[in-house]
């Protein structure tokens, strides 16, 4: 896996050079099946850490072979486990002992149909909930303060407030892809605006 990145003008918002500690991950993802993706990813800053290999897929109803978790499964797990990591990271400073910790989550999105029948759906966030079952001698105020601190320190939760910037490589150059453009001659169309429900129609 290459550790280099193309030239980019995409920067973290509201950068504070004096107080910011960059945290950087690099990845390469390859389409290896009808919907399967194989990914190599690792941290480069502030520490150079080992590379991990992950895969995602979709069930047959969405054109895949169900050989790996769906991307949204990975996302949901990432959000919960990142929060739990930060929770334990800050617990000692918050004077909260942890006898046991269990987190349950509920994650909801919407596939919104386009204004016209063949216009592709758009993904819309619904609601995201984490329920924290903590066994601790700490009082309620300390527990609540720890939850807030862990949430503010959770890198996955932070992403939810920042739009993802997209670029496409064209003729050897990286070109920005605005998401709010007016549909034009190259508009994507889908039957009924939503994915087909059988792999034979979705390959």
pLDDT digits (tens, 9 = 90+) for 51-104: 999 999 999 999 999 999 999 999 999 999 999 999 999 999 888 999 999 999
Q: What gap in Å lies between CA 174 and CA 194, rounded to an integer?
A: 29
Give a yes or no: residue 24 inside a domain: yes
Please state the domain count of the chain: 2
**Percentages helix, strand, coil for the chain, rounded to the nearest 5?**
25, 30, 45
CA distances from 4 to 24, 44, 188 (A): 12, 11, 32
Q: Which of 43, 65, 87 is the last residue of a domain?
A: 65
Give a yes or no: residue 108 inside a domain: yes
Q: Let me know whether 173 and 100 are in one domain.
A: yes
Q: What gap in Å lies between CA 114 and CA 108, rounded to an integer?
A: 19
pLDDT for 16 equals: 76
Give a yes or no: residue 95 inside a domain: yes
Contacts of 91 (CB under 8 A, 6+ apart): 97, 98, 146
Q: Let me know whether 80 and 120 are in one domain.
A: yes
Q: Let me know whether 98 and 151 are in one domain.
A: yes
Give a yes or no: residue 151 inside a domain: yes
CATH number of the domain that residue 163 is part of: 3.30.300.20
pLDDT digits (tens, 9 = 90+) for 116-128: 888 888 898 888 9
Q: Which domain holds residue 157?
A: 70-179
pLDDT digits (tens, 9 = 90+) for 131-142: 999 999 999 889
Q: Let me know whether 36 and 127 are in one domain.
A: no
Question: Can you give the pTM of this predicted structure?
Answer: 0.78
Both tokens of 20, joined, read: 């910011």
pLDDT for 37 equals: 97
Q: What gap in Å lies between CA 59 and CA 82, rounded to an integer?
A: 26
pLDDT for 41 equals: 96
Give a yes or no: residue 186 inside a domain: no
Give a yes or no: residue 195 inside a domain: no
pLDDT at residue 109 greater than cutoff 60:
yes
Mean pLDDT of all residues in 28-34: 95
Give a yes or no: residue 194 inside a domain: no
């Amino acid at each position: 896996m290459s550790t280099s990145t193309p030239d980019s003008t995409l920067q973290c918002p509201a950068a504070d050079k004096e107080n910011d500690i960059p945290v950087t991950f690099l990845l390469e993802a390859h389409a290896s099946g009808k919907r399967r993706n194989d990914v190599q990813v690792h941290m480069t800053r502030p520490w150079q850490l080992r590379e991990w290999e992950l895969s995602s897929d979709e069930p047959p109803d969405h054109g895949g072979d169900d050989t790996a978790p769906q991307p949204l499964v990975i996302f949901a797990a990432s959000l919960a486990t990142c929060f739990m990591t930060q929770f334990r990271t800050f617990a000692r400073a918050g004077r909260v002992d942890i006898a046991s910790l269990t987190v349950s989550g509920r994650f909801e999105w919407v596939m919104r149909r386009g204004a016209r029948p063949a216009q592709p759906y758009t993904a819309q966030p619904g609601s995201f909930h984490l329920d924290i079952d903590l066994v601790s001698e700490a009082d309620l105020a300390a527990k609540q303060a720890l939850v807030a601190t862990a949430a503010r320190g959770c890198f996955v939760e932070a992403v939810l407030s920042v739009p993802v910037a997209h670029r496409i490589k064209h003729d050897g150059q990286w070109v920005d892809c605005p998401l709010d453009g007016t549909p034009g001659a190259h508009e994507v169309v889908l039957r009924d605006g939503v994915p087909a429900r059988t792999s034979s129609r979705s390959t």
